[in-house]
Structure 1
Amino acid sequence: MSAAIATLTALTVLWTVPAPAATAKTPPPPESLATNTIDAHLGYMAQSTCSPSAKPGTTALLKLLIATWGGGSLGISRGCSVGTTSEHKEGRALDWHMDVKYSSQRKRVDQALAWLTANNGEVAYRLGVMYIIWNQRIWSLYYPGLGWRKMANRGSYTANHKNHVHISLSWDGAMKQTSWWTGVPITSPLNSKCGVGGSRACLPTIPRTSLSWPYQHTDVPASFLPAPWTRPGIGGDPQVGRTLTVVPGTWVPEGATLAYQWTADSHDIAGATGSTYEVTAADVGKGIRVRVAATTAAGTTTKTSDVMTEVLKARFATTPRPGITGTIATDQVVDVNVDGWLPAPDSLTITWKRNGKAIKGASGVGLTSYTLTPSDTGNKLSVTVTARRAGFYTVSQTSASVKVAKAEFTTAPVPLISGDAVVGGTLTAAPGTWEPVPTRFAWQWYVDGAKVKGATASSFVVGASRLGMAVQVKVRATRAGYTTRYVLSEPVTVTAAG
């Protein structure tokens, strides 16, 4: 048996066809659909048997992808002794050979995935797709609210699905029994082959049409609810803040009274005994199940659902970019607008930055104001807001940068000259009261509008040659981060002494 499986696997891996030219077309749809409803789906049903031969629906989908978008096959079947649990071991998974390092192949894969996942995954439902992995990301039909999510590094280019797209199918999809092939939407899913062991007969594949898809409107719910099955199922996304709903299943006796207990990592969650459960921050990283007890006069039967994937943190619905307000100049107080985050963060850490680097002492929770210093003058100011909330991914947003201008003195009075303006007298200059106070005053005396060489003190001795002339003084005020200001006094006329 093992030799046969190995041979089968080898043959499957070698099956490739020449890639056609890339096109924007999509595969031809079924010529008709019995109803505009969507196929019922059980959600994730893991490999549970050893039946590695390629199933007809898996083979047909792989050929369809290659015929439409090019690429090749990296196989369907896998020996049951190879690796861990995999739908390849039931012939329900395909590996479509495309490589992320080629932009043309990435583009064609994007087109194929858009075709599969449009309208909340309508075509994926009609093909019986369970999940898709490509370029280290996974999309699950049964977790639509999570979208494409990144997967952990598996250690190699191939293991991270960089050189192939993996698609796993339900048994209905693998057996080519879903509406894309038969035209009849599934109403009661099988988790096994059709036409054997008392299962319903297999439906034939109907012809294709040249009509553009979609040729009719189908309402596909944005949330997933599994079809009833022989054990409880769970609808909803395993993410903080989302609501999960139990589907008790077909095993429940008529008239039974139901009781529920939700669990996280197999431990009962206190108070979680309803038919729905809202995922909390305490559940992050844990696997959620639900235990259903059905009680009749004959007794109580208890069954437990399969475990969901580990609970993910939630994401903020809105993450607004902060904006700096106020006068962007030295010694001015500026503020950051942090409104608009939804839901409201537990905390907002504000980090003010100069030329992209954090300013020492200017970071903290709620630090929405900052006083600009001379060190900021001429540099670029920005601010980063980091939002945190229990059970949510931490998110940072940074404002646009703004250049810090020099400030202007708000008060710059005309200097006053005191003393006797007579030959031999001494004149003294006073700067007056400036706002803010300059760190330094400098002086220059003028006679009849001409600068007097060397006359740069606050006092000036009037020489005999200045008789009848007009004397003035100009003050220069300086302060770090401020525009240097010059102010000229009113003139005084020199007269003779006595």
Structure 2
Amino acid sequence: MLVRLSALAVGLTLSLSVAAAHAYESPVAYTAVAKNPADALAELPLEEPTYDPATRCSKRPKPGMTALVNWLGRHADGVFWGTYRCEKWGKGSASLHAEGRAVDWALDVAVPAQRKEAERLIALLLAPDKLGQPQALARRMGVEEIIWDCGYWGAGMDRFRPYSPCLSKKGKLKRKVNKTIAHRDHLHIGMTKRGAAKKTSFWTRRASS
């Protein structure tokens, strides 16, 4: 069952104007991809889309996040930029980084090969598996949000939407945004609590309890 699609998703997309949505181009096509690791698990029950907001700062290492970073190191180009930082927005509201449930992976949109790699990773995470189950790898890994190049995807969304820090007060995409704030120099991947605890089917290789 979908858990509160983001108080925290950085206030991201629920109030977008039609104009902004039309001006924004999604980075991927959301179609099946070759060699999808989720295909090997397709017979197991697939996790429901879930968004777990962060509420506090917690330095405690998260085994699922460590596993995701190691997986990226083996299967993707790019550079690890970090996971934990105590980033709070108010009482009971924080970045997923504050709970160690998000990783920043350095890839630069201005470098064609790096942009292509980021888009390959996003396409892989959000592709359907061989049974047609959508966003299969993201759900099995416990990935609940992705931010890249002024775009945001969160659990329960069918596609990327404009990322709110890149929008003007009129809901249009800004021409100039800080490169890091816009996530144009890194890919952000956030995890659910179960994913970060390494308790989802991609990590356990069995049905989630």
Place the TM-score, normalised by the shorter chain, in its bin: 0.5 to 0.7
Match of 2:120 in 1: 111
Structure with the greater relative contact order (CA < 8 A, sep ≥ 6): 1 or 2?
2
1:49-60 counterparts in 2 under 5 A?
49-60=56-67
1:63 maps to 70
Shift of 1:71: 0.7
Q: Over residues 18-57 of structure 1, what are the superposed CA-to-partner deviations in whole Å (9 max), with x where a residue is unaligned?
A: xxxxxx9868x4896494320234x222112321344111
Unpaired runs of at least 5, structure 2: 1-32, 129-133, 167-176
Q: Give the equivalent residue in structure 2 for 1:176.
A: 198
Q: Indicate yes or no: 2:99 matched with 1:90.
A: yes
CA contact (8 A) 1:35 1:184 kept: no
Q: In the TM superposition, what whole-angstrom CA distance separates every residue of 1:316-339 from its partner, at most 9, and x where no partner exists?
A: xxxxxxxxxxxxxxxxxxxxxxxx
Q: Pairwise mapping of residues 260-409 of structure 1 onto structure 2 (< 5 A)?
A: none
Amino acid in the other structure paired with 2:108 = D
Segment of structure 1 superposing worse, 161-170 or 147-156: 147-156
Are residues 1:129 and 2:151 paired?
A: no
Identify the match of residue 110 of structure 2 among 101, 104, 125: 101
CA deviation map 1:335-390 (0-9, x unaligned): xxxxxxxxxxxxxxxxxxxxxxxxxxxxxxxxxxxxxxxxxxxxxxxxxxxxxxxx
The alignment-based identity, stated in percent, is: 34
Q: When the two structures are aligned, how many residues end up with a matched partner?
A: 160
How has the CA–CA distance of structure 1 residues 33 and 69 changed in structure 2, closer, same or farther, with 3 Å as cutoff? closer
Structure 1, unaligned runs of 5 or more: 1-23, 188-498
Secondary structure of 2:182's aligned partner: coil
| 1:166 and 2:188 correspond | yes
Q: CA offsets, 1:460-498, max 9 Å, x none? A: xxxxxxxxxxxxxxxxxxxxxxxxxxxxxxxxxxxxxxx
State the shift of 1:70 in Å. Answer: 1.1
- Deviating above 2 A after TM superposition, structure 1's stretches of 4 or more consecutive aligned residues are 24-27, 29-36, 79-84, 152-155
**1:143-198 deviations in Å (ceiling 9; x for gaps):** 22xx11112345411011001111111011111111111012324xxxxxxxxxxx
* Whole-angstrom distance in 1 between the partners of 2:78 and 2:64: 19
Distance 1:158 1:34, change over 3 A: closer
Which secondary structure does the structure 2 equivalent of 1:63 belong to?
Answer: helix
- Contact 1:132/1:138 (8 A) holds in 2: yes
Q: 1:31 to 1:50 in 2, by over 3 A?
A: same
CA contact (8 A) 2:151 2:160 kept: yes
User: Do the aligned residues in 2 keep the contact of 1:34 with 1:185 (CA within 8 Å)?
Assistant: no
The 8 Å contact of residues 30 and 181 in structure 1, kept in 2 or not, is answered as no
Instruction: Tell me, in whole angstroms, the C-alpha distance in 2 between the residues paired with 1:48 and 1:112.
Output: 28
Normalised to the residue count of structure 1, the TM-score between the two structures is 0.30
RMSD of aligned residue pairs (Cα, Å): 2.7
User: Which is helix-richer, 1 or 2?
Assistant: 2
Task: Give the structure with the larger strand fraction.
Answer: 1
Structure 1 residue 72: deviation in Å? 0.7
Rate the CA distance shift 1:115–1:31 in 2: closer, same or farther, 3 A: closer
C-alpha distance in 2 between matches for 1:39 and 1:74? 28
Structure-1 residue corresponding to 2:152 = 138
Deviations 1:398-452 (A, max 9, x none): xxxxxxxxxxxxxxxxxxxxxxxxxxxxxxxxxxxxxxxxxxxxxxxxxxxxxxx
State how far apart, in whole Å, the 2-side matches of 1:30 and 1:136 are. Answer: 27
Pick the structure with greater CA Rg. Answer: 1
Q: Which amino acid aligns with 1:127?
A: M
- State the alpha-carbon separation in 1 of the partners of residues 51 and 38 from structure 2: 25
* 1:63 Cα offset (Å): 2.3
Instruction: Provide the TM-score with structure 2 as the length reference.
Output: 0.68
Residues 1:48 and 2:55 aligned together: yes
Contact 2:88 2:94 survives alignment (8 Å): no
